[in-house]
Amino acid sequence: MTPARASLLLLTAIAPLALAACDTVKKPLRGYDKQPPGTLLLDDEAGGTVMIWPMFDLPQADQIFRPRLDGQDIVYKWTSQQGFVTYDYSNWPMRGWTAGLPGSMGAIEPGTHVVEVVDSAGESWGRSAPLAIPAGGDPYNPTGQYPAVVFANFDDRVAAWNIDPATQDADTATDEITVTNLVDRDLVVERCQISSGRSSACTPVGTVAPGADLLTVERMADLPPKDDHQALVIHLASDANQSYQRDLLDRGGVGFNFGSTCQVERIVVHGTRQVDNYGSTITRFAMSSCYGYVSGPIQ
């Protein structure tokens, strides 16, 4: 009986310790409990937003990229419903031809910043010139146009263009549109009448040589897209079938992802590309820094 009684006392003494050791320790399933060293925390609730348009030609398998601001990887702070505070990197998986699918960084302290995109090895795929990023106010009720950066990194081309809304003119009924030619043949830019989806009565705006830009200021009309309206039609000088149409419409309210207006725009002509459109494949010739592959304001 003594050995049994001793064993019972021993187990009784151990039991509270075992229960204490097995208490459930609630921890977040992802992220870090402290800000990783060498990172930049974006947490300015009234801070600004910058749009990022990457034009990368990647394999058909997800590759992780990260945005950087002023040379530092970005982290955000999250507070769960259980009250856990965690920090996590802003990771961006991309695959295939990436143009037309923008990303963004928000809660940025207002000021002049350098925007960059790096891969998982820390290799830079594009770095912007210094860009002014103003305060953003309420992200769910944005006013004005967000600044943006377009990165090109494909076919041995590496370039970056800033889109700065502060450079727009005083006429809110016009857009300043720059056409950038990244193909090896001349482009023709025309202003055409669109009726029943067909273009006619085209007048020349200009010709864009390979590697060159053309700036045009266009007046917008407040019309439904199905009504007769004007559009910029951009096509190869040698093949009018390879073209891009930018409807000159202003329907108001571009949307949360782009700001409430878009008056400073760059149309980058990259040549014919197969684009993944929600599981189907479509052919596209150029991309707008305001609307991606949509022809004019988003409805």
Exposure string of 262-297, with b = 16+ CB inside 10 Å and e = fewer, is: bbbbbbbbbbebebeeeeeeeebbbbbbbbbbeebb
Helices (H), the chain: 2-21
Q: Which has the minimum average pLDDT: 130-134, 171-175, 238-242?
A: 171-175
If pLDDT is split at 50, 70 and 90, which confidence band does 9 have? very low
Query: pLDDT at position 258, please?
Result: 66
How much is the pLDDT for 256?
Answer: 53
Residue 76 CA, chain-centre distance (Å), reads 17
The position carrying tokens 């974006």 is 42
pLDDT at 158: 96
Q: Where are the domains of the chain?
A: 25-166, 168-299
Where b means 16+ CB within 10 Å and e means fewer, 219-251 reads ebeeeeeeeebbbbbbbbeeeeebbbbbbbbbb
The predicted model scores a pTM of: 0.85
Q: Work out the average pLDDT over 206-212.
A: 98
Average pLDDT over the chain reads: 86
189 within 8 A of 158, measured Cβ to Cβ:
no
The least confident of 19-23, 92-96, 233-237 is: 19-23
Confidence of residue 271 (pLDDT cuts 50, 70, 90): very high
Query: With the CA atoms of 281, 286, 292 and 297 taken in that order, what torsion angle do they form, in degrees rounded to the nearest 10?
Result: -110
Tokens of 267: 């149309």
Q: For residue 285, what are the CA distances in angstroms to 175, 256, 263?
A: 21, 26, 22
Residue 89's DSSP bridge partners are: 75
Instruction: Render pLDDT for 32-72 as a digit per residue (tens, 0 to 9).
Output: 889 999 999 999 888 999 999 999 999 999 999 999 999 99
Q: What is the fold, at CATH topology level, of the domain defined by 25-166?
A: Immunoglobulin-like (2.60.40)
In the predicted model, is pLDDT for residue 244 greater than 90?
Answer: yes
Q: φ and ψ at 194, to 5 degrees?
A: -110, 120
What is the spatial order of strands in the sheet that 148-154 belongs to? 103-108, 48-56, 148-154, 157-163
Average pLDDT over residues 214-218: 97
φ/ψ of 19, rounded to 5, equals: -65, -40
- For 210, the enclosing helix (H) or strand (E) is none
Q: Which two tokens stand for residue 240?
A: 């009018």
Q: Give the pLDDT band of residue 20 (cuts 50, 70, 90).
A: very low
In the predicted model, is pLDDT for residue 137 greater than 70?
Answer: no
- Per-position b or e across 14-26, b if 16+ CB within 10 A of its CB: eeeeeeeeeeeee
CB atoms within 10 A of CB 299: 10
As a whole number, mean pLDDT of residues 122-140 equals 88
Which of 18-27, 112-121, 286-295 reaches the highest mean pLDDT? 112-121
